[in-house]
Amino acid sequence: MPDLKPILIVGGGLAGLALGLELRQRRIPVTVVEAASYPRHRVCGEFINGRGLEVLERLTLQQQLLQAGGRWAHTAAFYVQGRRPVQQRLPQPALCVSRYVLDDLLAQEFRRLGGELRLRERWSQGYDDEGIVRATGRRVQTTVQGWRWFGLKVHARGVALKADLEMHLGIDGYVGLCQLNGECNACGLFRTRTPLPRLALQWQEMLRGEPGSELRARLGGAVFDDASFCSVAGLCVAPYGADEPDECALGDTLTMIPPITGNGMSMAFESAELAVEPLIRYSRGERTWEEARSGIARACRRRFRQRLRHAGRLHRALFHPIAKRLCLAVLLRFPRLLRVSFMLTR
């Protein structure tokens, strides 16, 4: 076999590690450079919905994730204060799994397959050289039309849910709840026009929701596991441009889908999957870097176009007071539409 060209992946999150794993399964030399280390908590609703589950199955990781505390979610419920909730069976089960477990497992597997993992190293060079894949997560945007978007997440004990996935919609944010192994993950997306540091002491209140709300009924008496708390700011929740001209970008770096869909992890896995064949051909010298890079960008655009459009509309509606109530009223009358919405974002 001729010499294989190496691939350098910057970012050991879901997209970077899934790609690294698939390439190592085909014996391509791969290095992943990661700024942090494992295990670590991440701001995430921690449920995987959609085609990314097929990638996990192909990587033979689903079983291990279930053994490590993952749970299948079969039902979802939406709550708006003062309204009857909308509850439905999901068209297909979603997998609830802690990122503390998931990222660590992927990293271990990558190493087991002979991948080189360089931890606590922040890449500061460019991304336009041959053989470099950028999977560094979201592109930071401080404000979007005057709003600052941020995410909060914590694990909690002593919470009983009425559906496997619960989404509680507030005025300037929503909180998703799902059951993990003995704990509940509470993760919220919020927006504010005030500077963020003032919010630093309010995170518990924000996640617990308004007094009198269903969210408060779930989390009012919950015990938060402070060690699992994390936050993220600078989110750009409107889908951004699908590709930079000279970069080979995957996952959130490529584009970010609004979290309400629970599809970001799936897109990270899927974009990695779409990159595998072109990168193998590049590594073997059967394609130029430019052919591989532009082929990956095209395939991702095709795969994600429709769901980004649908998710963008849904996201805008949920942050519009009238549209939000209208959506809920329609869903109460035609609950099956909730299933259709899930199908459109997968």
Ligand X SMILES: Cc1cc2nc3c(=O)[nH]c(=O)nc-3n(C[C@H](O)[C@H](O)[C@H](O)COP(=O)(O)OP(=O)(O)OC[C@H]3O[C@@H](n4cnc5c(N)ncnc54)[C@H](O)[C@@H]3O)c2cc1C
Judged by CB under 6 A, the residue of 25, 26, 31, 36 near ligand X is 36
Q: Which is nearer to ligand X, 56 or 328 (CB)?
A: 56
Interface residues for ligand X in 261-300 (CB under 6 A)?
262-266, 268
Tell me which residue has its CB nearest to ligand X: 13
Between 265 and 274, whose beta carbon lies closer to ligand X? 265
Nearest to ligand X of 242, 329 (CB atom): 242
Q: Which of 258, 254, 261 has its CA nearest to residue 144?
A: 258
The correct pick among 44, 117, 156, 311 for binding ligand X (CB under 6 A) is: 44
- In the complex with ligand X, the residue whose CB is nearer, 36 or 329, is 36
Which of 20, 115, 251, 278 contacts ligand X by CB under 6 A?
251
3-state secondary structure of 228: strand
- Residue 288 or 306: the one with the smaller Cβ distance to ligand X is 306
Phi, psi angles (nearest 5°) of residue 46: 65, 30
Give how many residues touch ligand X by CB under 6 A. 36
What does the per-residue mask of binding to ligand X show for 187-216, with x meaning CB under 6 A?
A: x-x---------------------------
Q: What number of other Cβ atoms are within 10 A of residue 208's Cβ?
A: 22
Q: Which of residues 4 and 230 has its CB atom nearest to ligand X in the complex?
A: 230
Q: Which window, 46-54, 273-281, 316-324, 331-339, contacts ligand X (CB under 6 A)?
A: 46-54
154 sits near ligand X (criterion: CB under 6 A): no
> Residue 44 Cβ, how far from ligand X at the closest point, in Å?
4
Q: Which stretch binds ligand X (CB under 6 A): 217-225, 257-265, 285-293, 329-337?
A: 257-265
Minimum Å distance from CB 40 to ligand X? 8
326 to 90, 165, 317, 329, 330: CA distances (angstroms): 21, 22, 9, 5, 6
Minimum CB–partner distance for residue 3 and ligand X (Å):
27
Tokens at 51, concatenated? 């085609």
Residues 120-139: x where in contact with ligand X by CB under 6 A, - otherwise, as a string? --xx-----------xxx--
Does residue 32 contact residue 133 with C-beta atoms inside 8 Å? no
CB of 73 to ligand X, least distance (A): 10
DSSP H or E run through 306: helix 289-318
Site for ligand X in 61-120 (CB under 6 A): none
Say which residues have a Cβ less than 8 Å from residue 202's Cβ, sequence separation at least 6: none
Distance CA 249, CA 228 (A): 29
Residue 208 vs residues 45, 86, 187, 199: alpha-carbon distances, Å: 15, 20, 10, 14
Determine the Cα–Cα distance for residues 188 and 231; give it in Å rounded to an integer. Answer: 9
Q: Which is nearer to ligand X, 137 or 333 (CB)?
A: 137
- Whether 48 and 99 have beta carbons less than 8 Å apart is answered as no
Beta pairing, strands 132-134 & 248-249: parallel
Least separation, in Å, of the C-beta of 329 and ligand X?
25
- Which DSSP string do the residues of 168-188 spell out, in sequence order? EE-SSEEEEEEE-SSSEEEEE
The number of helix segments (H) and strand segments (E) in the chain equals 10, 13
List interacting residues with ligand X (CB under 6 A): 10-16, 33-36, 43-48, 122-123, 135-137, 151, 187, 189, 232, 235, 251-252, 259, 262-266, 268
